[in-house]
Amino acid sequence: MSPTIPFDPRVLRAPHPVPGAPDNWRRFFSFNTDAKVIGIQYIAVSLFFLLVGGLLAMIMRGELLTPPADLVDPTVYNGLYTMHGTVMLFLFLFPVLNGFNNLLIPPMIGAPDMAFPRLNAAAFWLFPVFGVILMLSFLVPGGPSGSGWWAYPPVSTQNPLGHFINGQFLWILAVALSGVSSIMGAVNFCTTIIRMRAPGMGWFRMPIFCWTALAAQAIQLCGLPVLTAGAVMLLFDLSFGTSFFRPEGGGDPMLYQHFFWFYSHPAVYVMVLPIFGVFSEVFPVYARKPLFGYHVVAIASFAITFLSLIVWVHHMFYSGTPQWMRNVFMVTTMLIAVPTGIKVFAWLGTLWRGKLRLTTPMLFCLGGLFNFIFAGITGIMLATVPVDIHVGNTYFVVGHFHTVIFSTITYGVFAAIYHWFPKFTGRMTYEGLGQLHFVLTFLGSQLNFLPMHWAGLMGMPRRVASYDPEFAGANVLASLGAFLLGVATLPFLINIVSSWARGAKAPANPWQAIGLEWLLPSPPPAENFGEHVPVVIAGPYGYGLGRDLVEDQESVVQRSLQEA
């Protein structure tokens, strides 16, 4: 394999306004252009919003503990579930994954920073802005948006109080700004991966995390403009009396659903692809084996990107979609199972005959894979039109996507935090607390999300504040699971905070992992390899193959030891 693009020396060297890393904590509160600072900023703020979203979920599960709507008013419940979904997607998952993109992409490909550092910092600083806008919507008269994270019109454009500034207005503003920020990020990530790889790092020597990041960010570039257009039209219908989606004025509410899902289906792959990347990085390290079928896994990422753009109508099977269209989108949706299956089997192949070390990141990846297989199977059920006609818009769907979004993606986020924490903070985490976090999370998520499938099969609609007594059993179990998940975050928070403050100093490569980022000191210096960018001579994951990753590896390792 020949190196494609020679290393581009014109990498930008934007000055860092608050120098003095790594001891100067003030840099985290400034417009800093260092991708490693931005990465940690993203992750810290998004973890804060994970707690906010989790708190909203606890109140919802408290309400659902008993059949009648007795804890909060039904309108309050509607606002809570809307904000829970919106916070979790737009203020937790997207930003936390952008945080990992920032931390991991430059060191993994040997680049000193992102291609456009100022754009990068601007994209980050939009995040607190739209975060605050969304939170402010709790304070406006009438409360936050209560039309669900889909914001389907006409409910979303009813504006009961008639104020110009209302919860729905702020919601649309926040989501649109989040889209702008994501597009800025996507331009940066794609450019960096395409243009700034170390000499010798051809496409098929690139770590899978970078493949999946590129595949995911390509989706952002294709899909987000469509969502943004839909959001702007919705804003105009809401605030300026247009009728894009109003039947009275000749519009069609179904049109919005197409705009929304054209992006929002692929969006779920924007979230899961990087986690496929995390699995592909973590399994080889702790199974001590090369990734099984590296080339196919890499290509499958782009097969997923392509297919994810042509399946969106599976969210609209019961909304008046003609039969031929249902059949077409059923077939395309089912096809996604093929590249996804390739990845799952490749991870199993990686585990097979390995030398497994069940560390915290490995446990989260194993648990996440286990849950993902389950969710893939319920996904196929949902893709089957006659079955979806029954379980669509019920708790079965809620169970399906929480098994993916929490029990796979968020597990992957935890795995990534534990795996790369030593690298980017220079401190080790406490293994015992990590394992406790895993055990509680695994039990809590099964208890929370499995009974939801059952409630859905029995016919419990989603988004309800009250329900018939026959669903009480499933809901009590789910609520207990949710409270257990709340408890599970305590060892996590304690671990992260106290490890960073006073954990043991981390060596450059605590896990004996193979990869450019592990050839840097922990934490890496501001510009990673600086002048001494190593020349990559082999593909990633060479466990047990007895080969070097870079030219003159010994001296690269020595240099990282000296700098530390």
Partner 1 sequence: MTGEAPSRPFRPDPAAIVLVAIAVALNVLASVWMSQRVHDWLPVQASSAAPYVDNLFALEAGIGTFIFLGCACVMGWTILFNRAPKYDMDDGAPIEGNLRLEIVWTLVPLVIVMAIAVHAIQVNQVLATLDGKVRVSSGSEALAVAGSAAGEEPVGPIQVIGRQWSWEFIYPEGVHSTELHLPVDRRARLELISMDVLHGFYVPAFRLKQDLVPGSVIAYALTPTREGRYRLRDSMFSGGYFAANQTDVVVESDDAYRAWLKDALRRPLVPAANPATELWRLRRERGDRGWATVPPAPPPLVHVDADPNAPHDA
Query: What is the footprint of partner 1 within residues 112-171 (CB under 8 A)?
Result: 141-144, 146-148, 150, 152, 154-155, 158, 160-161, 166-167
Range 107-141 burial, b when 16+ CB lie within 10 A, else e: bbbbbbbbbbbebbbbbbebbeebbebbbebeebe
Binding footprint of ligand HEM, residue count (CB under 6 A): 23
Tokens 């806008």 sit on residue: 133
The Cα 439–Cα 433 span in angstroms is: 10
Q: Does 265 bind Cu ion (CB under 5 A)?
A: yes
Task: Report the nearest approach of partner 1 to the CB of residue 559 (Å).
Answer: 24
Query: In the structure encoding, which two tokens stand for residue 213, read together?
Result: 């990041």
Which of the choices Cu ion, ligand HEM, partner 1, none does residue 154 contact, using the CB cut-off of 5 to 8 A by kind?
Answer: partner 1
Per-residue binding string, partner 1, 20-59, x by CB under 8 A, is: ----------------------------------------
Task: Report the nearest approach of ligand HEM to the CB of residue 431 (Å).
Answer: 29
Nearer to Cu ion among residue 350 and residue 403 (C-beta): 403
Nearer to Cu ion among residue 36 and residue 265 (C-beta): 265
**Which of 153-156's residues contact partners 24+ apart within 8 Å by CB, and which partners?**
153/234, 153/237, 153/245, 153/246, 153/253, 153/256, 154/245, 154/246, 154/253, 156/234, 156/238
Which of the choices partner 1, ligand HEM, Cu ion, none does residue 48 contact, using the CB cut-off of 5 to 8 A by kind?
Answer: none
Nearer to partner 1 among residue 356 and residue 487 (C-beta): 356
Q: Does 392 bind ligand HEM (CB under 6 A)?
A: yes
Tokens 């109508």 sit on residue: 313
Task: Report the nearest approach of ligand HEM to the CB of residue 311 (Å).
Answer: 8
Question: Contact with partner 1 (CB under 8 A): which of 199, 459, 486, 507?
Answer: 459
Chain positions 281 to 300 lying near partner 1, rule: CB under 8 A, are 287-290, 292-296
Residue 189 near residue 105 (C-beta atoms within 8 A): yes
Q: How far is CA 283 from CA 208, 267, 451, 552, 559, in A?
A: 12, 25, 30, 27, 28
Residue 183 near residue 219 (C-beta atoms within 8 A): no
Chain positions 326 to 385 lying near ligand HEM, rule: CB under 6 A, are 333, 336-337, 340, 376, 379-380, 382-383
Tokens 């047990």 sit on residue: 544
Q: Does 61 bind Cu ion (CB under 5 A)?
A: no
Window of 1-9, 22-30, 217-225, 263-271 that interacts with Cu ion by CB under 5 A: 263-271
Window of 39-47, 158-166, 320-328, 400-408 that interacts with ligand HEM by CB under 6 A: 400-408
Q: Does 214 bind ligand HEM (CB under 6 A)?
A: no
For residue 404, give the 3-state DSSP assignment. Answer: helix
What residues contact residue 308 under an 8 Å CB cut-off, 6+ apart? 219, 265, 266, 268, 269, 336
Query: In the structure encoding, which two tokens stand for residue 153, read together?
Result: 């019109």
What residues contact residue 181 under an 8 Å CB cut-off, 6+ apart? 123, 124, 126, 127, 130
Backbone dihedral angles phi then psi of residue 525, each to the nearest 5 degrees: -65, 165
Q: Does 238 bind partner 1 (CB under 8 A)?
A: no
- Give the closest residue to 34 by CA, choosing from 48, 21, 47: 21
Which of the choices ligand HEM, Cu ion, partner 1, none does residue 379 contact, using the CB cut-off of 5 to 8 A by kind?
Answer: ligand HEM
Task: Report the nearest approach of ligand HEM to the CB of residue 397 (Å).
Answer: 5
Chain positions 391 to 410 lying near partner 1, rule: CB under 8 A, are 392-394
Residue 366 near residue 442 (C-beta atoms within 8 A): no
The Cα 295–Cα 29 span in angstroms is: 41
Query: In the structure encoding, which two tokens stand for residue 106, read together?
Result: 């430059």
Window of 132-140, 159-167, 261-269, 278-286 that interacts with Cu ion by CB under 5 A: 261-269
Q: Does 369 bind partner 1 (CB under 8 A)?
A: yes
Nearer to partner 1 among residue 15 and residue 469 (C-beta): 469
Window of 10-18, 214-222, 262-270, 334-342 that interacts with partner 1 by CB under 8 A: 334-342
Residues in contact with Cu ion by CB under 5 A are: 265
Residues in contact with ligand HEM by CB under 6 A are: 268, 271-272, 314-315, 333, 336-337, 340, 376, 379-380, 382-383, 388, 392-393, 397, 400-401, 404-405, 409
